[in-house]
Amino acid sequence: MTRLFEGLRVIDCSSFIAAPGAAAVLSDFGADVIKVEPPGAGDAGRNLSRLPGNPKTDQTYGWLLDNRNKRGIVLDLALPEGQAVLHRLAGTADVFITNYPLAVRKKLNLGYETLSRLNERLVYASFTGYGERGAEASKPGFDMTAYWARSGLMDGCRPDASLPPARALVGMGDHPSAISLFGAIMLGLYQRERTGRGAQVGSSLIANGFWANGFNVQAALCDATFYPRPPREKLFNALTAYYKCRDDKWLILTILNEERQWPVLARCLGREALVSDPRFLKQADRFKHAGELIAALDAAFAERDRAEWRQILTDAGLVFEIVASPQDCAVDQQAIDAGVLVPFEGDSLMTITSPLHVDGQAKVAPRKAPTLGQHTDEILREAGFAADEIAQLRAGKALG
């Protein structure tokens, strides 16, 4: 099968998660992605999973996820010789991806102005923390800061207003932002199809954070009145609350068709008497007495393990979901059946595919992420470098 992006050459000159993640999506559909890393430790994303507090395993799982299918090359871009190699590669590439700080791009001669002069068809994908204009354009930004904290998401995602703001999970904003950057790249490629010329495209963490929190930010723009989030036990609606089961695992209800489904839920829980209780007869009554209804449902859910409730509620056709842990996600049969979790090529180890599909297009079977500089000589030979040139580059430390 000829895949959608077969023949598309992508230079991934980026680090950590969001920008490399966009390159991984391109690779899923057949693009040849060349990962450029500095000598020494390489991309700092290689060691992200080893930081204190992250799940422990021998596998560098973050690196595996965001750098699958890529070929790796080491270049010291601080040296003119390293820059010259990158320029030669970019001269025949279709897409160049970077999230280097704007000042660093200028210093290393890898800005759009430089590379577009070498290749007018190049789509230059720029990812930043805070955008490319304004007083904070050069400010370093990460998922936790520019996406999660600056957007209002951190402030809003608390169990209740009296508790401290919630910390983000690693990559929680980076991975959605990777899809935004992928979309920007598609716009650039579409423009190139129409005009024959490439373009600079991009996205940022702050833009994605504001978009993710768009419902509330738009409310603020409309001068809305905000109400503090109450603790779970005092939520406004008991039928969209979350509940702990006997085994200390949680599930969440999303019952919106209350007139039909509230009696069904009560029967499932063995609490039929609640339906005729004057406090819970109509939706307005249930809202008024939501705290009392939550307490009643708490007692009911505490009588069985979550797996039992899952079967009972599923059989009744009610809308709910388990509050899954990462360990639950790793064995989620629906995710496997739907092709969300797929095995690495020739391996039983599973990974997460990109959240996009095209009918009739099979994705590449994911290959393990490259070791540092694994394909350096191979890539240089394809670019027309002779053996003695490669040896000279290596002797001059341009290849690390």
pLDDT at residue number 263: 98
pLDDT tens column, 378-389: 999 999 999 999
pLDDT tens digits for range 33-83: 999 999 999 999 999 999 999 999 999 999 999 999 999 999 999 999 999
Above 80 in pLDDT, residue 321? yes
**How does pLDDT run across 224-233, given as a tens digit for each residue?**
999 999 999 9
Burial class (CB in 10 A: 0-12, 13-18, 19+), 118: middle
Q: How many residues does the chain have?
A: 400
Report the pLDDT value the prediction gives residue 340, as an integer from 0 to 100. Answer: 98
pTM exceeds 0.85 for this model: yes
pLDDT tens column, 138-167: 999 999 999 999 999 999 999 999 999 999
Listed as own residue / partner, the contacts of 394-400 with beta carbons closer than 8 Å and 24 or more positions apart are: 396/79, 396/81, 397/39, 397/76, 397/79, 398/75, 398/76, 398/79, 398/81, 398/82, 398/85, 399/39, 399/74, 399/75, 399/76, 399/82, 399/373, 400/38, 400/39, 400/40, 400/74, 400/75, 400/76, 400/373
The yes-or-no verdict on residue 254 having pLDDT over 90 is: yes
Q: What is the model's pLDDT at position 2?
A: 83
Tell me the pLDDT tens digit for each residue of 344-375: 999 999 999 999 999 999 999 999 999 999 99
pLDDT at residue 86, as a whole number:
98
